[in-house]
């Protein structure tokens, strides 16, 4: 546990994690808060077993990693760990608050957020929640009823939430690192040259996220084995743990990487993306104006990726390809269709840009500052 020293600043608890989709939005909002108001002191509360264990120590933010567990729906007998962890976390949060009471508790979803939001509610601390997905998670649904601020990534989420009559409910998007200003971007020609791909290639970006997606990787490997259509090139991020099985597919028109850092170089070079349907990925695709084929993870909690993919397809910015229909043939058919229909591809890009909210982190931070200092 790392506890910040008391000072004249205003402390804000951020709680959320377990996965990057719940942790990284909180980090983006916290950084925006500090840029706008240096007197604000974010303090992160997360789970010792989540991704925050590896990420938070390198952020510079004070934090506590607690013995928090999710609800074990398929193994309910393990929920004794959930209850025990909640009791332990409650005590730890109280100890942190005695050092300095927070002015606000911000929950960004996942099982790591519940304990801090519940503690804040019990102690009369104002609450705010951020929900990036089109189908709200359990934590958001539970605390949106009592939160003063409810910030959404998709407008569809508001239809599934009960909120307090005085709550501020705003669709502000999912906090991401925004693309550089247009005048600061490197041109597509420069990026194609960096990737050593032909200027006139139709470049498809394939990524299953930081962990990779085996189903997606296997379909793309089969596609490469069969032979890509003439003029089609791939920038393919396999996920670090899966990379060894696919690196051999590197070729003149295929670039295979364990992960993409910075991913901006891939976004700027791509004509089309084939990805999972996590909220953060969609927010990035929208901000960069990239048409997509979305293959949602079928085991995502409460099918939230399926709901996201349907919402984006309904908006005209993507094609929803269920994993049950995923194959090399299916990918090639969609790529050929979009390559041969530049009008359709352009329409999808325009739809993505219309829904983009690249400044979501700063917009949410400004709303939080109003909650802290309404005057």
Pairwise CA distance, residues 174 & 176, whole Å: 6
> 339-373, pLDDT tens digit by residue?
999 999 999 999 999 999 999 999 999 999 999 98
- Same domain, yes or no, for 143 and 205? no
Cβ atoms of residues 320 and 251 within 8 Å:
no
Task: Flag whether 2 is in a domain.
Answer: no
Alpha helices (H) along 1-158: 20-36, 52-55, 79-99, 111-122, 138-143
Is 307 part of a structural domain of the chain? yes
| Euclidean distance between CA atoms 194 and 191, whole angstroms | 5
pLDDT for the residue 5: 41
Q: What tokens were used for 181?
A: 């200003």
Residues 43 and 65 in one domain: yes
- Residue at 5 is within a domain: no
CATH number at residue 83: 3.40.50.2000
Within this chain, do residues 194 and 123 fall inside the same structural domain, yes or no? no
Regarding whether 167 and 230 lie in a shared domain, the answer is no
Element (H, E) at 280: helix 279-288
Strands 149-152 and 232-237, bridge-based pairing: unpaired
The predicted pLDDT at position 374 comes to 66
pLDDT for residue 181 = 67
pLDDT tens track, the chain, 375 positions: 444 444 468 999 999 888 788 888 999 999 999 999 999 999 999 998 888 888 999 999 999 999 887 777 788 888 788 788 788 889 999 999 999 999 999 999 888 899 999 999 999 999 999 999 999 988 999 999 999 999 999 999 999 999 988 999 999 999 988 887 654 466 788 889 999 999 999 999 999 987 789 999 999 999 999 999 999 999 999 998 899 999 999 999 999 999 887 888 999 999 999 999 999 999 999 999 999 999 999 988 788 999 999 999 999 999 999 999 999 999 999 999 999 999 999 999 999 999 999 999 999 999 999 999 865
User: Are 91 and 211 part of one and the same domain?
Assistant: no
Domain count, the chain: 2
Q: Do 282 and 137 sit in the same domain of this protein?
A: no
From the list 108, 92, 106, the residue with the least C-alpha distance to 19 is 108
Whole-number pLDDT of residue 205: 98
Q: Are residues 276 and 289 in the same domain?
A: yes
How far are the Cα atoms of 58, 186, 220, 247 from residue 329, in angstroms, in the given order?
42, 34, 10, 21
Give 211-277 as a DSSP string.
T--HHHHHHHHHHHHH-PPTTEEEEEE--GGGGGGTGGG-BTTEEEESS-TTTHHHHHH-SEEEE--
DSSP assignment, residue 17? Answer: -
Residue 371 sits at the vertex; the CA angle it makes with 370 and 375, to the nearest 5 degrees, is 50
> How far apart are the C-alpha atoms of 134 and 158, rounded to whole Å?
9
Beta bridge partners of 150: 129, 169
Are 330 and 367 in a shared domain? no
215 lies in the same domain as 299: yes
In a domain, 142, yes or no: yes
Q: What residues contact 200, with CB distance under 8 A and at least 6 apart? A: 231
In a domain? residue 35:
yes
Residue 4 lies in a domain: no
Residue 104 and residue 252 in one domain: no
Residue 178 per-residue DSSP state? P
221 domain residue, yes or no: yes
Predicted local confidence at residue 50, as pLDDT: 82
CB 276 within 8 A of CB 216: yes
Query: Between 79-99 and 111-122, two packed helices, what is the crossing angle to 10 degrees?
Result: 50
Q: Give the sign of the dihedral formed by CA 143, CA 109, CA 267, CA 28.
A: positive
Compute φ and ψ for 344, nearest 5 degrees.
-65, -45
Q: Is 169 exposed, middle or buried (0-12, 13-18, 19+ CB in 10 A)?
A: middle
Q: Are residues 52 and 98 in the same domain?
A: yes
Domain of residue 278 covers: 182-355
DSSP state for residue 298 in the 8-state scheme: T
327 assigned to some structural domain: yes
* Phi, psi (deg, nearest 5) at residue 321: -115, 100
252 and 143 in a single domain? The answer is no
Q: Rounded to whole angstroms, what are the CA distances from 168 to 42, 98, 110, 133, 192?
A: 21, 29, 21, 18, 44
């Amino acid at each position: 546990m790392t506890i910040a020293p008391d000072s004249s600043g205003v402390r804000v608890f951020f709680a959320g994690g377990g996965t990057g989709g719940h942790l990284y939005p909180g980090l983006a909002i916290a950084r925006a808060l500090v840029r706008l108001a240096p007197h604000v002191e974010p303090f992160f509360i997360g789970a010792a077993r989540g991704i925050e264990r590896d990420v938070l120590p390198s952020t510079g933010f004070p934090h506590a990693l607690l013995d928090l567990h999710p609800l074990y729906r398929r193994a309910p007998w393990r929920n004794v760990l959930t209850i025990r962890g909640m009791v332990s976390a409650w005590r730890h949060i109280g100890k942190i608050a005695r050092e300095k009471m927070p002015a606000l508790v911000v929950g960004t979803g996942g099982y790591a957020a519940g304990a801090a939001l519940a503690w804040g509610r019990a102690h009369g601390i104002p609450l705010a929640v951020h929900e990036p997905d089109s189908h709200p998670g359990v934590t958001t649904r539970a605390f949106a009823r009592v939160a003063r601020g409810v910030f959404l990534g998709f407008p569809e989420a508001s239809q599934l939430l009960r909120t307090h009559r005085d709550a501020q409910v705003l669709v502000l998007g999912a906090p991401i690192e925004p693309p550089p200003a247009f005048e600061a971007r490197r041109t597509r020609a420069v990026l194609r040259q960096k990737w050593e791909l032909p200027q006139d290639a139709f470049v498809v970006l394939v990524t299953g996220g930081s962990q990779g997606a085996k189903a997606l990787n296997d379909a793309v490997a089969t596609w490469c084995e069969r032979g890509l259509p003439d003029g089609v090139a791939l920038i393919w991020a396999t996920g670090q743990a899966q990379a060894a099985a696919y690196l051999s597919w590197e070729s003149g028109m295929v670039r295979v990487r364990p992960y993409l850092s910075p991913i901006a170089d891939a976004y700027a070079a791509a004509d089309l993306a084939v990805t999972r349907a996590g909220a953060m990925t969609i927010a990035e695709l929208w901000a960069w104006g990239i048409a997509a084929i979305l293959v949602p993870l079928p085991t995502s909690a409460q099918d939230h990726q399926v709901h996201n993919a349907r919402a984006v397809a309904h908006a005209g910015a993507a094609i929803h390809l269920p994993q049950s229909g995923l194959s090399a043939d299916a990918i090639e058919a969609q790529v050929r269709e979009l390559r041969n229909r530049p009008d359709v591809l352009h329409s999808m890009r325009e739809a993505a840009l219309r829904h983009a909210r690249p400044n979501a982190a700063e917009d949410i931070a400004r709303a939080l500052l109003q909650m802290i200092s309404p005057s």
